[in-house]
A and B are shown apart, each in its own frame.
Chain A
Amino acid sequence: MSLATYIVGIVAAALVLTVVLVLLGRRRLRERHAVWWLVAGALALIAAIFPQTLEWLSALLGIGLPVNLVFFVGIAILFLVDLQMSSELTRLDDRTRSLAERVAILQLEVDRLREASNGPGEQHGEVQYETDRGPREHREP
């Protein structure tokens, strides 16, 4: 391994860690999501600085080519992160749906209250809001 390769490995790993930490600091990344990226970055940095650890661990696990260990761990981490994202997406979807249902019911109740407060015969009361759907048709009382 040439010195250049050695340095490129360290710089790449350090870059990953820096980006994750900066995003964390700016609150652009939740700690819950950052954990796996931090683990991946830290492992990459260790393997880059001390390539012997990679060789030692590969020998211990009976892996012929140390680079295969890198691929294995890398794919495993990506898989876990992806699974976490899917699960998170499901949860967000549930919440969005629930909110949409609540909004629909609240909108219905607000419309009825507004109608009731405008009173019969006052089709165009003083309080006239426009919703994002545009002005609503007034219903027959």
Chain B
Amino acid sequence: MTRLLIVLPALNEEASVGDVIAEIHDEVPDATVLVVDDGSADATTERAAGAGALVATLPFNLGVGGAMRTGYRFALEHGFDVVVQVDADGQHNPADVPALVAALDGADLVIGARFAGTGDYRVRGPRAWAMRMFAGILSRSARTRLTDTTSGFKAAGPRTIALWAEHFPVEYLGDTIEALVIAARAGLVIRQVPVAMRARAAGVSSHNPIKAGIYLLRATMALAIAYVRPRSAYGIGEGL
């Protein structure tokens, strides 16, 4: 029996977090749900606790990276075998969680990919170019075809949990791109499973070309730094 922890990083999600938790309880009744409240100013913590989730409330905002590292630490300390990251805004469909967990058989990390055929999630402009470029580079590192490297919908097995509890990147965009670079460089087996994003997510990406350009620059820099950093920085010198 695998012990499954679903982690929801949440910043000011009081409107949706309760519904998402209820839906997870329906779709994945065996899972333990941990909401990491990333310094919300609203009632996220209270709503999540009221919906029956465990809640770790960060004293101030750390970003998705810090929230997720808290989740992986909690999982490691409490002996969970699998961690699935699900966004608290409802864009990820909890019904996809079992498919992600099933794909962990023979893999250490499974990404719920938004461009792999299912759903109608579309991005255009510099953001799309950046995403395509990252997918190409990371596919080479991971020795498998990845089409969506910026997805937050991920399932992590025991080896990934052990690595990320210590080394989940907390810098800008670290929770997506650099986290995958670390996993790939540590020799973990990465796989992707197609998922559909739900209405709330589609279209929220920035349509402002300046913002998209800045995103492209910062993301490229984050990627470059992730590769330049010596393997010893992740404590993965001799493989895992």
Contacts and interface: CB of A to CB of B under 8 A. Distances in A.
B73 A97 contact: no
B60 A100 contact: yes
Interface string B18-55: 00000000000000000010000000001001101011
A122 interface: no
B74 to A, nearest CB: 5
Nearest to B62: A97
A101 B54 contact: no
A100 B62 contact: yes
Given A137-B46, A137-B49, A105 B59 contact: no
B103 interface: no
A101 to B, nearest CB: 4
B57 A104 contact: yes
B170 A104 contact: no
B69 interface: yes
Contacts of B90: none
A133 interface: yes
B56 interface: yes
A140 B25 CA distance: 15
Contact of A105 (B46, B52, B60, B77): B77
Central interface residue in A133, A136, A139, by most chain B CB within 10 Å? A139
B66 A101 contact: yes
Q: What is the interface of chain B mostly: helix, strand, loop, or mixed?
A: mixed
A78 to B, nearest CB: 26
B10 to A, nearest CB: 12
A136 B50 CA distance: 11
Interface in B187-208: none
Interface string B45-89: 010011010111111101000100110011001000000000000
Contacts, number: 47
Interface string A88-113: 00000010010011111101100010
B70 A101 contact: yes
A32 B47 CA distance: 47
Contact of B59 (A100, A137, A139, A140): A100
Contacts of A140: 50, 52
A139 B56 contact: no
Contacts of A105: 56, 70, 73-74, 77
A139 B53 CA distance: 9
Contacts of A101: 58, 62, 66, 69-70, 73
A104 B52 contact: no
Interface in A45-91: none
A139 B50 contact: yes
Contacts of B59: 100, 103-104
A139 B69 CA distance: 25
Contacts of A139: 49-50, 52
A137 B121 CA distance: 38
A12 to B, nearest CB: 42
B99 to A, nearest CB: 29
B49 A104 contact: no
Contacts of A102: 73
Contacts of A107: 56-57
A104 B10 CA distance: 14
12 contacts: A94-B170, A100-B60, A101-B62, A101-B73, A104-B57, A104-B58, A105-B73, A108-B56, A108-B57, A108-B74, A136-B49, A139-B52
Nearest 10 pairs between A and B by C-beta?
A: A104-B56, A101-B70, A108-B56, A104-B58, A139-B49, A100-B59, A137-B46, A97-B66, A105-B74, A100-B58
